[in-house]
A and B are shown apart, each in its own frame.
Chain A
Amino acid sequence: MRLKETPEEQAFRRDLRAWLGEALPALPPEPPFEDWAAKRAYDTGWQRRLFDAGYAGISWPEQYGGRGATPSEELIFLEETEKAGAPYVGCNFVSTLHAGPTIAAEGTPEQRARYLPPILRGDNVWCQGFSEPEAGSDLASLRTRAVRDGDHYVVTGQKIWTSHAQVADYCELLVRTDPEAPKHRGITWMVMPMDSPGITVRPMRTLTGESEFSEMFLDEVRIPVENVVGAENDGWRVAMVTFSFERGTAFVSELLGSRRLLTDLVEIARKTPHGHGTAWDDAGIRRDLTLVAAELEAQWALTKRNVARAARHGSPGVGGSVFKLAYHETRERMGEVALQVLGRARLALDDPTGLSARHLDHVHQRLYSLSLSIAAGTAQIQRNIVGERLLGLPKER
């Protein structure tokens, strides 16, 4: 067991830090709330800067234009970019972390040549068309139909929870190509150009007031056969390949962002009047904040463990589920104590009185934390995974 960095890792960190010091001051101002076109321009602009500096596709294999960094280096990359306040992956999430790596692994040489370079350069934005209204946790029961018609598929159905659909160029789409086969065997993974006729995107507003997600209605959308990645009816396996790229680093930015939130909350507590002193003088609030800090540090240790496992065995195993379950609980506790600290300042989602020296929106974060036990596998599904795969308990049926 070793936490100390190798000279190579130290050099990687030093170079990255130096580059961030130059690149970040040159960034344009952040896009306004809910302006998705501006958000796209901002996020893809950042991706382009990463590309020019050699940091695009940090975990992608070098042969496909990535940097081929080790999981430890990827961890350092995420740590340094977060520390420096660099933009998050944002609109580039599906392209750089899902669709891109999947096409690199499963695509044809033509598909790789066509789709991967624009992803790395930040020219294209991708969205994900997996979930459906009737296929959430039970994703494999998806019903969007694709019927072969000559050298095209004709696709009809409905998708939901499609992030950034309103500004995407392509969609990684899961469709049912064989309705007679067992549910995992009749699915196909294909690339849908978002300018195809028959696509209607209807943004959904979440309880935080944002419309990052959309519903997507597909009405006889014609998709060329050559857009299938992997084989017809082999899409479930291809989708699983996507998830297997997880190297224990999926929630690193989240976790580090939470550390920053906690530090900020402590500062706010120290100056916010509460009873006869400040909120920090309240032993209950102080203890709650301390417990959150302790849990976040412990989860940072778990993250390093998961990354080490992924480096050795190719994936962190159930470590990702373990992390998510611990993390969402901590974030919920942090949300509770944040609102205690803020008192009546909780009445605003953002921070109109300027309590946060870092311009962080703790009330928004309190609401956002509710999604952490739902998105990317609900807490209940994660507990099944831990119970069955780690403890070996029997399945329900």
Chain B
Amino acid sequence: MDFELNDDQVALRDELRRFLADRMTSEARRAVIDMPGAVDRALWRELGGMGIFALTQPESEGGVGLGLADATIVYEELGRAAVPGPLLGTFFAAGLRDAGDEVAELAARAAAGEAVVGLVPAGDPVFVEHLAGLDALLVVADDGVTLVDPPTSSRPVDRPLDPLTPVDLVDVLPPGRGVGGPDVAGGLRNAGALLAAALQVGLAEAAVALGTAYATDRTQFGRVIGSFQAVKHLLADAQVQVEVARAAVQAAGVTIDEFLRAEQAEAGTGDAAGVHRISEPARIVASRAADRATRACIQVHGGIGFTWELDAHLFLKRALVLDVGIGTPEAAADRLAAAL
């Protein structure tokens, strides 16, 4: 047992953090709002070039050959930078296999960041994020996963919750082709929940950092407000939730990787119960950490925190968007309750 990042993981994290700090500035992020579907295709290709979407694909298939634990580290950084776009859909599209040449070609383009693929839970009507920027859309139902062309008949939502997540309302999805059965859908839901949680951990820490920077700079009553315990403790409590959530998310990633390795070596030897024991909590605590951190960030800023101009609301809204992708915290709580 050695539950600490190894040197490669630290390097992976630091390199991506540096790249995004440079590339995804506040101005750059807001500029994405005006791009079709709020997708920056140039950035998408850059991320694809760094292997972000093919991270867990085997090297024999042109992937990076890393595990889900590594993916949680990477997606935490993408969350920290609040990178707009359908990160999870493109990530999963890059892993589509055995569904014909056409799908394989899309998978290769997704891996390279050349294709932008959305991801929605099945439902009727369907809210589709980033529709105008999509090349394809994955639809996840209990009984399987379908790949559809981006629907052409839709009603754009005038006032989306998150300005960086434009939404269209689609009454009926076009028929598509099946790319996996219940097993694939289940695996995708579990991994999706984990990576959404990782994104939320990053968002949460970015929110605490934004609040901390302000509290270190802002003076009232002749003192820096971060020296007041009432302010300091708000941020400390938020950071505590971030630390706990990060540990849980990474533990879930490691546990899933170790499960997969055991199953690969000999079917039936993986600890499936152990996977659920930590995966469901990770989904739940990451969502709550993001909620607490974004609220603390806004509160610490006072009135400025309530403005459009400050990035705090972008972190808050992205966290709320991530709660309702595939694999929600509520579903995780129900599964955990059933296992208690």
Interface residues of A (CB under 8 A from B): 1-6, 9, 72, 75, 262-263, 266, 286-287, 289-291, 293-295, 297-299, 301-302, 304-305, 307-309, 311-312, 319, 322, 325-326, 380, 382-384, 386-388, 390-397
Known: A297-B248, A298-B244, A312-B4. A3 touches B258 (CB 8 A): yes
Max chain B Cβ within 10 angstroms of own Cβ: one of A5, A6, A75, A396: A396
Main secondary structure of the interface of B (DSSP, over half): helix
Beta-carbon contact of A3 and B235 below 8 Å: no
8 closest cross-chain pairs (CB), A and B: A301-B251, A298-B248, A294-B281, A387-B232, A308-B4, A386-B236, A297-B281, A393-B226
* Count of B interface residues, CB-CB < 8 Å: 49
Question: Pick the contact of B212 from A309, A319, A382, A393 — CB < 8 Å?
Answer: A393
Give the number of A-B contacts (CB < 8 Å): 158
In the assembled complex, which residues on chain B have CB atoms less than 8 Å from the CB atom of A291? 284, 333
List residues of B (207-236) whose CB comes within 8 Å of A's CBs: 208, 212, 215-216, 224, 226-229, 232-233, 235-236
B69 within 8 A of A: yes
Beta-carbon contact of A322 and B1 below 8 Å: no
Beta-carbon contact of B236 and A396 below 8 Å: no
Distance in angstroms from B15 CB to nearest chain A CB is 18
Q: List 16 A-B contacts (CB under 8 A).
A: A266-B340, A289-B337, A290-B284, A294-B280, A294-B281, A294-B333, A295-B285, A298-B245, A301-B3, A302-B244, A304-B1, A308-B3, A311-B2, A383-B236, A384-B232, A388-B232
Beta-carbon contact of B1 and A2 below 8 Å: yes
In the assembled complex, which residues on chain A have CB atoms less than 8 Å from the CB atom of B227? 393-397
In the assembled complex, which residues on chain A have CB atoms less than 8 Å from the CB atom of B244? 295, 298-299, 301-302, 322, 326
Beta-carbon contact of B3 and A3 below 8 Å: yes
Max chain A Cβ within 10 angstroms of own Cβ: one of B227, B232, B282: B232
In the assembled complex, which residues on chain B have CB atoms less than 8 Å from the CB atom of A395? 227
Known: A304-B1, A394-B227. A383 touches B237 (CB 8 A): yes
- Tell me the complex Cα distance, A299–B229, Å: 25
Question: Pick the contact of B69 from A1, A302, A307, A390 — CB < 8 Å?
Answer: A1
B6 within 8 A of A: yes
Beta-carbon contact of B281 and A295 below 8 Å: yes
B328 within 8 A of A: no
B240 within 8 A of A: yes
B20 within 8 A of A: no
